[in-house]
Structure 1
Amino acid sequence: MLGKISKTDCQRFKKRRLKSNMDTDVNDDNESQDRWNALFQHTLKVDASLEDTKIFSFSENGVDVEITQQQLDKCLGYLVSTHDLYLQFRDAPLNFSQKQFLLATAGYVARYEQHFNKLNSKRIFGMLMSMMDVKNVSTHHKLKSRYVDLLRSFFEHDSGLRWLIEMNGWTDIHELVIECQNGEEEGNMYNLLSKILQKASKVAPKICLHIIRQVTQNLMTVALKNVPQTKQEPVVPLPISESNRLLPYSTCVVEILERLLAGPTVDILSYFVKLQIREACDTLSMLTNNTEFSLKLDRIVIILSFYEMTDLFDGIKVVNHDPIALSGFLQIVEREMNKEHINTILELFYYAQKYWKCVCRKMPKYFVKEKPIDIEDELMSFQVEPIVVIAEKLFGVPMTAEEELRNCFLADLLNLYSVNCLQLGYEIRKHLSKLPLQTEITALDCLIKSKHLYSRKNLAIVFQVLIYCLRDFTRYVKKYPTQGKFDQDQQFADTLLRAIVIYLENFDLSWRESIGSIELTCLVYQFLYYSTQWPPQVVRKALEILNTTISKHMSPNMALLVDTTQNSSLSELGSLLFTKCFSTDSEVRNSSLTVVCTICHKANKGFTSFKKIIEEALLPDLILTMALRDLDCNVRATALKCLQEIIEMKETGQCLLKNGLVDKIIGVFSNENNSVVIREAIILVGKMYRNNNVAQNDISHIYTALLKLAIEENTEIQQYAVEFWEHVIRNQLEKQGMIDDEFPPVIFSKECRKIVKLDDKEIRKRLFKALDNMSGAGCFNVFQKILKQEPSTKKVFRSVVNIVTKLLKLLQQYEVTPEFILFNQTYPNLWSIQSIMSPSNQTEGDDKMKEIIEDSVMEMINESEYCAMNKIHSPYTETNSENGEPQERVPLNQHNRVSTVDFMDFLYKKLPNLNQDSLEICSNNNNSNIYKDVNLYNNT
């Protein structure tokens, strides 16, 4: 007989058993972790964390681009191994990257029907759903999005589509989209659901109807439950909690309907009509006071009503009834107006415009008393109404219908309405003056969203309405200057100016379309002038509009080709911009300089009166100061852009040059750290050089600075410096008579003061002089340095290749070889042999020239070492130019200077196939190895 076990012994036994179980659990967890890590480490030989493995970088569509067709079977086996391990260890201790990798791999493999069937037979897709826990609210949205990508891959074949439909795979997507409102993957899920319906309607219409019924079930149930059974039964409003609960379901339905309406299989909407979804949503909209929920329900009603009208008018080309009234849209607006949901009404006008664009091609033309009525025009008129009558709110002056009809524009606008729409429009107007300014802000937002939906005619009308609104608001600011400091006024101003900017983009207005375009410049100027309370973002948008009006010639002075700015707001624009250049906000200063740059550009293109705007406001000196001293690098860069335009003005540019502009800009190269600023400074110097605005004494300083930039600076700066040296080459060739990249037959010589025939001998002589000047300037130092070293980027290297290749072709055309250059350096007096020959002894002179050349070839070769030291020069390489001014040479000593002979020898002997080899060099990642293989740049 066993003795009794004491209480203490029982407790000890329980502790030992609990400890044993805990040790077992810990061992199981450790074994599970080790097995999973081993799977990730050995199956595809990658790190378990997958953080440093490039092969697992995902593309935007969820497919791993690094996994190729050859790895397909390997990936399939990997997924099968994953499933086997999952059966043994249900709790998979996977991190986020590993889960993401599994879904991406499965999505890639599942695109192929044969592999999809293999995975499905092993129930791997169910394993992935359980492992990823995608239905959990706390699961990362990227994993949910990756799961949606997996389901999307099923559409590549019939087997995957049948699985989604028969196994109710679509329900996972529906549940996800209900839970993940306002998530990043929400749009992808809506696209997937609409695609499922499109596919199901073709292969299984009954299942398609079943899916629609399930998606709309919650809305239908609540509508049937709350609808009054009799007319005498009171209407009970829907509780706020119930409206909030149904909001995700209504959002899902309306998003699916939008995609189906715009898609090719629009007839799927007939299933929604048969299920009376429209009636249910109309009932719910009547019962709820939630504005967001009402908007979603009304959108559903409008989509289905517009679709049903396409079926009603099928085959009919002309009707005498207003389609927008027949659709019930006006009743929806009236209902929301009774709820005082004016902002919801403005949103409905936008969505109605959007949905009408999808069905308008199938709708008949609508005539009233032989006058055509366009639904787009009617909806647009509704949208602009709050903006047109904003003066009533700002000034408290009511505007009656009779007064409006005296105005030509408003009369035309009212004529766009049908009778029903006109009456409704005035009903809405009664509410507008009582509502806060937020209503007009909403109207402007809707106009911005509607831009792409309008015809050109209606774009012009809306733009004119915006001008009227800006005029009224500017009058309001002028009357109440302190109003600009209030938040709502600032928000309205910001939205109004943003709308004007957007409507000006990619839309060239004519006066015939919108006479208000002429007034815009003056209005924006007054808007900025009469109030200084505007925040920086508002000022920036106003300056952006000013810049656009000037660049598009919308100001009266430019549009009417007026030569003066007297009695114009433009006459004061310079002082306004001068003031804005002292703003504490760097972006405002930058925007002001952008306007100045545009004015300077237009002044150089023929609008001479604009020069006075710049000069009278002392802007050139201020801009130079900002280019050198402003704290913001973007402002300094824009100021340099302005200077690039200012130096084109003769008097203004010369004043800056006399005050040491060149030395100050050269100082930017050594004092500036920002590459964008240095780039603009290089462009400015290049423009001054091309326009011959630089004194001879300053040219050597420019050469020295640009030589350093082209060799030592970063890639972006180096590219622009190389472009400058290309201009130097072009300039030297043009000085020798080249015009449009070729030498003319004859040219006037300043040295001889007569017309000279440019035969091959004369051209070679001139090329010789140009090459020597290029060498003295430092061109060849730059090009040879870049070509001999590994290029920092392909772009810089390719640019130099193109430059020297073009130069090489020119020299080959006229047989200018290294031997030719060396010979003429050795015997410079031979240039004058032809000039002392008389015409009668031309043949004899040629024979004597040939004899001299043949006799001196050996002597020239023997003395080549002496000549290579560049101690013998032709008469054209003297230190003084033809006009007695100093030659344009960079101060390089003989040891550092790349001579013409050396560079020509480099081009002819070491780079015979430069143009072809450069393509291979630039396209390979391992540049250093390629250079060694090509062996182009060795001097031996």
Structure 2
Amino acid sequence: MSEIDMENKLRRVLFTFLEPNYEVRDQMYLEKLFIHISEGNGSAGEALTAVCEEWLQELVKVCMGRTLHSSITAFTVRVVALIVKDPERFMYLYKKQVLDEVIQLFKLKFLDNVGVRQAYVTLLSALVKHSEGCDYLITSELWKDAVQFCHEDTSIYVSREGIKFITEFLNFLLREDSGKVDAVLNLALGPLTSNSKKLIPALEMTVKILETALFGSETCILYEKLDRFNLDSLGWSILNNTEEKEILEKVTQLLTVLYFTSLQYQNKTSDVTYIQFNEFQSKLYNLLTVLATRRLIPVFVKVLVHSQFYWHKTAIEVPQESDRRPVVFEIQLIILQILPVLSTVVNTKASENECMESYKNKIFELTSESTQRLGYCVRDIIKLLDNAPELAHMAVVNLMLLKDIMTRDQAVIVFQTMMYTLTDFLPNFNTYVQCGEDYEDNFVIQNPELLSCVLEMVTSLIQCFNITWRDSVETICLFTMLILLLRNSHLTSKLAVQTLQLMLEVIQKFMPPNLALLVNTMEGSSISQLGPVLYKRMHDTNWEVRDSALEVLRVVSSIAEDKFTAFQDHLLDNDLCSLCVVIVENDSESYVRASGLSCLGAMVRVSKYWSNSLASHDLPGKMIACLRKESEGIVRREAAALMKEMYELRKIPNSKLGEVFQTMADAAVGDLHWEVQINSLCFWCKVIEQELSDQGMIDGTFPSVTFSRVDRKIVTLTANEVKSRLRKALDKLSSLGCLQVLLATLEDCNLQVAQKSVEIVTSLHKLLSQYGVLAARNSLPDLISSNCLKKDQSDKPVPIFDTFAHEHSRLDNPSVSSRSNGDVQARLKASDEVIESIIQENDMRLLQEVYNNKVNGVEFKGKEVHHRTVSADEFLTALLQLNLTDIAERTHWLEYCSDDLGSLLDDILASQIERESNAIDCY
């Protein structure tokens, strides 16, 4: 579509919005239209913007006398915001008085609409992007509207955008006109002195302004401006006179950021001295002490979370005194934050443990005297509370917020804390590890949320920091802990899944001592209990647990192949291979069956698993039945992947190969699940690779000499010999149905399938061209249409490809090549008519056929496929005619239809016409 046509269509749509009683039928239309306008660039973007400016001028004239739909008004204000980001366009709308008129229209009629308010604040934020807009904000005093919206707190989105605008506006004023800063601060911070409904939003705004001072380049000026408000005294006054949780959280955050801003101010004016840092730390610790003594532990933890973020962003160097032991401030913060967790440790055996004592000594050595005093105070208070486990749970949840900014040293301390917390949920190690019995533990029943958070935290730390025994000696016990935890009879299904997921991570990271040291034995270690635990969990009544257990088994099977071969006998001794087959056949949940097949895919790669167990279960036959009878696509997908693995490893007996090839051809062409088709095409990739390998190809090329199995001697691979071998491979692939599959899937309706087929065909095309097999041939009709079917007089389906094959044989046969070309053209015309008839086939008839097939018990879960072998000559001829770039063109076409501005405008106009038609139909 040309730019002019696009402009005209956009103009029609926009002016349609101004029609009386226009109703917005779909909000997404407006959202998508705005995105297209905002993403316009170059000359096309300029043209669209010009159309919007023209529309806005008309809107001001039309809408002063009547009311637009609120969605159209919000859209209008957002478009204005988009335009005024550019200083020149801002000046154009300002001089035309369009900007003033739109704002007045909004303020008169839509002041209470949240969507329009948000759009209005977006407009103000756009104006603050350049000095001309900021000057306009100052003279018009529109910034006061944003402050008012924030104080009224009608919507979290409006408040958030409003506060963001105020901070950006203050940054401009600090750089260009600091004299105006006082007026903004007076209005924004005014409600702090009164205990009104505006107190909470005013506290939130003050926090954001202080954060602007903390992280901005104008820290000194803004901090000095804020100093006259005496925020420290004001905050403590509010803190001492309220019990409301939300106010407490806001005012403590205010005091926290105030102390950090004060330290940052000192850091920017001169280097922070030891005395100044101690003063800062005393203020912060005093706040924490007050919160602890008032038993406000949740607020206590939140202050520490904010402190961690502020310290991470400022990274002020802590001054040290030579006569004192150096302390790391972020370590002090993290240790204070884990206090609620440490205070819940009730397992006396863990306290007596040598590692536990070492951990306590480490904590003691890392902390300063003031941190230790505060820590003992908090510990004694928490031990008196009845909800200590709940506080520990809350502390771990807040620790999760910090994992992205933690240092490695902090992460190790948290990891060790979580490890000792896990011991609270376990019995004595030695007793239950050796006996292998299940047990009951009431602490798990009483505190499932805490255990869940601890498991999640340990998993996240291992993933983010790759913690090993070098960082924490406690890692050597983690696998044992998980084994014990899975033996707990009271473990919920959610906790069992989390434990298995952590176990999976532990095994993948080779954290158990046997795996870490690659000691290829399992005697006397907890890892010897893995098989029985997995066997039990694979029988769990909850399908998520069975699925997670199978995922662990899959990883263990992969490791057993060559990294830790002791797992081979272990899994066989616990009959896990046979159990996996039983699950694949009988489990009621499709996800579990799919996971079981994925697990078998890893197992078949281990020779001992195959020879001692899997070979006796007729897996090829079971996969054939699965691909033809299974109703769930995800299961068939994994069945196709397993079939590929077995074929690659030559695990399929010759007696089954014919049925396997037929089944995999059906699945590649006719399955209704695209991932099944992809995996089936991957199977055919392996078939091609194996046939080429049988003809002497090594790593994609033919060597100069090779051993001939037929002649039982070494032969030289001349050019003619290579061509002959490639023709033999093509003939074999033709007899297997592979070439038919490739041509059929090239025009599959699913682009991923077609692209995979193109990838394979392109690779073959390159190979055959490289060795001179693909020479110029007679031009024939497009052979891809062999997928289409025609019906003869007996109504029996016959591939149209037969027609083309017949023509090909006539052209290649001298005895019949003298026949008139008119006959060929007539047949080509007939084939075109057949294709057209299929395209115009009645949809209801097609649906009826599908329904009848289903009722009649057709086993294959896909489109009905009729095969006729494509010969090597036919395939080579097809390769010369194929336009493989057509797939990319189809992709582009789909993107155009789904994400094109012209298509969207057509939809909007069509919806309006449809609405009018429906209105007429009502009469």
Tell me the TM-score range normalised by the shorter chain.
0.7 to 0.9
Correspondence for 1:417 among 346, 367, 390: 367
Q: Which amino acid is the alignment partner of residue 330 of structure 2?
A: E
Residue 718 of structure 1 pairs with residue 672 of structure 2: no
Equivalence for 1:300 = 254
User: Could you say which residue in structure 1 is the equivalent of 2:705?
Assistant: 746
Displacement, 1:427? 1.2
Cα 1:43–1:318, aligned 2, differ >3 Å: closer, same or farther? closer
1:907 maps to 879
Within 5 Å, give how 1:567-646 maps onto structure 2: 567-646=524-603
Q: Tell me what 2:413 maps to.
A: 461
Paired letter, 2:687: V
C-alpha distance after superposition, 1:366-399 (max 9, x if no partner) = 236253211111111111233234324x66x998
SS in 2 for 1:506: helix
What's the CA shift string for 1:725-745, capped at 9, x where partnerless? 222111110111111001122
Aligned counterparts of 1:601 and 1:244: Cα–Cα separation in 2: 62
Separation in structure 2 between the aligned mates of residue 774 and residue 675 of structure 1, nearest angstrom = 27
- Once the two structures are overlaid, the 10-residue window that deviates more, 425-434 or 276-285, is 276-285
Find the partner of 2:149 among 176, 185, 209: 176
Equivalent residues of 1:565, 1:571 under 8 A apart: yes
Name the counterpart of 2:911: none
The residue aligned with 2:807 is: none
Deviations 1:404-437 (A, max 9, x none): 9992222121122221121111111111212211
Match of 1:444 in 2: 396
Q: Structure 2: how far apart are the matches of 1:746 and 1:451?
A: 59
Residue 49 of structure 1: aligned partner = 23
1:634 and 1:677 in contact (8 A); partners too: yes
Would the aligned equivalents of 1:404 and 1:410 in 2 still touch at CA under 8 Å? no
AA at the equivalent of 1:512: R
Cα distance change on mapping 1:405 and 1:276 into 2, 3 Å: farther
| Partner Cα distance (1:751, 1:432) in 2 | 84
Task: Identify the match of residue 380 of structure 2 among 422, 430, 440.
Answer: 430
| TM-score, normalisation: structure 1 | 0.77
Residue 764 of structure 1 and its aligned partner are, at CA, apart by: 2.0
Q: Which has the larger radius of gyration?
A: 1
Residue by residue over 1:728-763, the C-alpha shift from the partner in whole angstroms, topping out at 9 and shown as x without a partner, is: 111110111111001122222222222222222322
Q: Which letter does structure 2 place at the counterpart of 1:258?
A: E
- 2:501 maps to 544
- How far 1:178 moved relative to its partner? 3.5
1:173–1:751 distance in 2 versus 1, CA, 3 Å: same
CA distance in 2, matches of 1:205, 1:43: 43
Structure 1 residues 733 and 260, CA gap change in structure 2 (3 angstroms): farther
Q: Percent identity between the aligned chains?
A: 23
Distance (Å, rounded) in 2 between the aligned partners of 1:454 and 1:290: 31
Alignment partner of 1:218 is 2:203: no
- The counterpart of 1:336, out of the listed 286, 291, 300, is 291
Deviation at residue 894 of structure 1 after TM alignment: 13
Output the amino acid matched with 1:391: V
Whole-Å separation in 2 of the counterparts to 1:248 and 1:62: 35
Of the structure 1 ranges 774-783 and 293-302, higher mean CA displacement relative to structure 2 is found in 293-302
- Measure how far apart 1:64 and its partner are: 5.0
**In 1, Cα distance between the equivalents of 2:421 and 2:37?**
50
Sort the Cα spacing of 1:264 and 1:593 in 2 relative to 1 into closer, same or farther, 3 A: farther
Whole-Å Cα distance in 2 between the matches of residues 62 and 772 of structure 1? Answer: 53
Write out aligned runs for 1:159-238 (5 A).
159-180=132-153, 183-219=156-192, 221-222=193-194
Name the residue aligned to 2:83.
Answer: 109
Cα distance in 2 for residues equivalent to 1:384 and 1:663: 56
Q: Which residue of 1 aligns with 2:305?
A: 350
Q: Could you say what the CA RMSD is over the residues aligned between the two structures, in angstroms?
A: 3.5
Distance 2:138 2:197 in 1: 30
Residue 524 (structure 1) aligns with = 482
Which structure 1 residue ranges, 5 or more long, are not aligned? 1-37, 223-241, 822-857, 867-891, 929-940
Q: What secondary structure sits across from 2:650 in the alignment? A: coil
Deviations 1:638-682 (A, max 9, x none): 111111111112132243233211111111212223332222211
Aligned equivalent of 1:795 = 752
SS at match of 1:755: strand
Which of 52, 55, 71 is residue 75 of structure 1 equivalent to? 52
Identify the residue that residue 500 of structure 1 maps to in structure 2. 458
Give the distance between the partners of 1:447 and 1:271, measured in 2 at CA.
35
| 2:515 paired residue number | 558
> What residue is the counterpart of 2:274 in the other structure?
319
After TM superposition, give the deviation of residue 925 of structure 1 in Å: 4.1
SS state at 1:686 partner: helix
1:684 paired with 2:642, answer yes
1:747 is paired with a residue whose SS is strand
The CA distance in 2 between the partners of 1:571 and 1:562, in whole Å, is 13
From the superposition, tell whether residues 818 and 308 of structure 1 become closer, same or farther in structure 2 (CA, over 3 Å).
Answer: closer
728, 736, 740: which one aligns with 1:769: 728
CA distance in 1, matches of 2:417, 2:350: 18
Specify whether residues 115 and 663 from structure 1 end up closer, same or farther in structure 2 by C-alpha distance, changes over 3 A only: same
- Which residue type is aligned with residue 426 of structure 2? T
**8 A Cα contact 1:132 1:143, kept in partner:** no
Matched position secondary structure for 1:515 = coil
Give yes or no for contact 2:506–2:512 (8 Å, CA) kept in 1: yes
- The amino acid across from 2:715 in the alignment is V
Q: Does 1:510 align with 2:468?
A: yes
Q: Which has the higher contact order (CA 8 A, sep 6+)?
A: 2
Contact 2:341 2:393 in 1 (8 A): no
2:340 aligned with 1:386: yes
| Cα distance in 2 for residues equivalent to 1:624 and 1:927 | 46
Counterparts of 1:556 and 1:433, CA distance in 2:
36
Q: Deviations over 1:283-330 (max 9, x none)?
A: 222332334322321221221222222333444376377547545111
Q: Distance in 2 between matches of 1:39 and 1:917?
A: 34
Q: Deviations over 1:101-140 (max 9, x none)?
A: 2233222233233443454524224334336634x3xx34
Q: What is the CA–CA distance in structure 2 between the aligned matches of 1:175 and 1:859, rounded to whole Å?
A: 85
TM-score of the superposed pair, with normalisation by structure 2: 0.79
Which residue of 101, 111, 114 maps to 1:124?
A: 101
Alignment equivalent of 1:289, drawn from 239, 243, 248: 243
Letter of the aligned partner of 2:759 in structure 1? N
Aligned to 1:148: 121
1:360 aligns with 2:315: yes
Deviation at 1:97, TM superposition (A): 3.2
Contact 2:735/2:869 (<8 A) preserved: yes
Q: CA contact under 8 A between 1:289 and 1:339: conserved in structure 2?
A: no
AA at the equivalent of 2:383: S
Letter of the 1:306 partner, please give it.
F
Q: Letter of the aligned partner of 1:518 in structure 2?
A: I
Q: Offset at 1:915?
A: 5.3
User: Structure 1 residues 54, 181: CA separation in 2 closer, same or farther (over 3 Å shift)?
Assistant: closer
- Per the alignment, in what secondary structure is the counterpart of residue 334 of structure 1? helix
Deviations 1:800-823 (A, max 9, x none): 2332222222222322247999xx
Moved more, 158-167 or 410-419: 158-167
CA-to-aligned-CA distance 1:193-218 (integer Å, 9 cap, x gap): 22121122112212222212221111
Q: Does 1:728 align with 2:687?
A: yes
Give me the whole-angstrom Cα distance separating, in 1, the residues matched to 2:89 and 2:248.
47
Q: In structure 1, the residue corresponding to 2:640 is in which secondary structure?
A: helix
Residue type of the alignment partner of 1:285: L
Q: 1:535 to 1:264 in 2, by over 3 A?
A: farther
Provide the C-alpha distance between the structure 1 equivalents of 2:63 and 2:866, rounded to a whole number of angstroms.
Answer: 78
1:756 counterpart SS class: strand
> What is the correspondence of 1:863-902 to structure 2 with a 5 Å cutoff?
896-902=868-874
Distance in structure 2 (CA, Å) of the matches to 1:762 and 1:554: 54
